[in-house]
Copies of this chain bind each other. A is one copy, B any other.
Amino acid sequence: MSDLPKRIRILEEGPREGFQIEKGPIPTSRKIDLINSLSETGLEQIQVTSFVSPTAVPQMADAEELVKGFTRKPGVRYTGLWLNDKGLERAIATGKLDIRGSLSLTTSEKFLLRNQRRTHAQNVEAVRGMIAMFKHYNVEVNRASIMAVFGCNFEGDIPTSKVIDIAQQLFDLAEEGGCKIKTLSLADTMAWATPGSIRRVVGAVREKFPEVELSLHLHDTRGMGIANAYAGMEMGVAIFDAAVAGLGGCPFASHKGASGNVCTEDLVFMCDEMGIETGIDLEKLIESALLAEEVVGHPLPGSVKMGGSLAKLRKKVAEEAGKTV
């Protein structure tokens, strides 16, 4: 366990990941309530919305209104997601978001063809276009991510050598464009990872690119999210995407296949109990998680919001014993 980090950074993606899968309309004011609540938890970064086509993702049609409505808390970074020039322009135009550039490639061409109707070669060109776009808007680029790192529903298992190869391509593209990648995010886009593959792939990437900071984006479709995060920490990973209450997932069959990110408060709970700092107040985060459930109007998968923290129980035990904590 010697590689366990002393502190991890959690990047909240709940509002963006979560609301886009919801079928019913959610009032923008309620989304804003959740973002304002999350701002009070100690989270350092919150991804608030996507600037994507309202025809394709109707739940995100209120992106501008939402950004206008929430209250920025000093010290918190508020980010958005975009997939092209138009989205980036919309994000910049809000004048209220922290705009950072990120490059992305995918290990699986079959997934890419299906999901973005592009070949890998076209995707490489798209990255070049992205770099040019970021330059044009004077946006710094220091992050890259690889999708479908641990397996793909359409291509199957992904060899570790392919992940290394794609990472190298991203670093080369960045260098060619005059940027330097500081953080590389490995995304388990289709929830194929288990602790064994996390250790194997993270180990190989870390060995090949020791100077790069690694980050994990873990989907919890098969219940491995927390175990995978733990295995990542054992390999020294100290940055994780997460979603409050497990937003984006749902225990109802009508949302079958809904694959929420690893749950933020469950991750914070594990870290708290293992002496790993997150800077996040778990009790406040549990309040946000309960609010998230209220906002979407159905149960969300996170566990600690129901099970409660141990700090609270310890306090009760101490009070009953006539002591103070």
A residues with a Cβ closer than 8 A to B are 1, 151, 153-157, 191-192, 194-197, 199, 220-224, 226-227, 229-231, 251-253, 256-257, 259, 263, 266, 269-270, 273-275, 299, 301-304, 306-307, 310, 313-314, 317-318
Contacts and interface: CB of A to CB of B under 8 A. Distances in A.
A273 B194 contact: yes
Given A154-B317, A156-B313, A222-B303, 4 more contacts: A156-B318, A223-B307, A224-B226, A227-B227
B221 A303 contact: yes
5 contacts: A223-B266, A223-B303, A224-B303, A230-B231, A259-B307
Contact of A251 (B157, B251, B310, B313): B251
Nearest to A194: B273
Q: How many copies of this chain sit in the oligomeric assembly?
A: 2
Q: List the 8 shortest-distance A-B pairs measured between CB atoms, nearest first.
A: A223-B303, A196-B274, A221-B307, A227-B227, A156-B317, A223-B266, A222-B307, A251-B299
Give the one of A195, A199, A302, A310 with max B CB within 10 A. Answer: A195
A194 B306 contact: no
A257 to B, nearest CB: 7
B306 A257 contact: yes
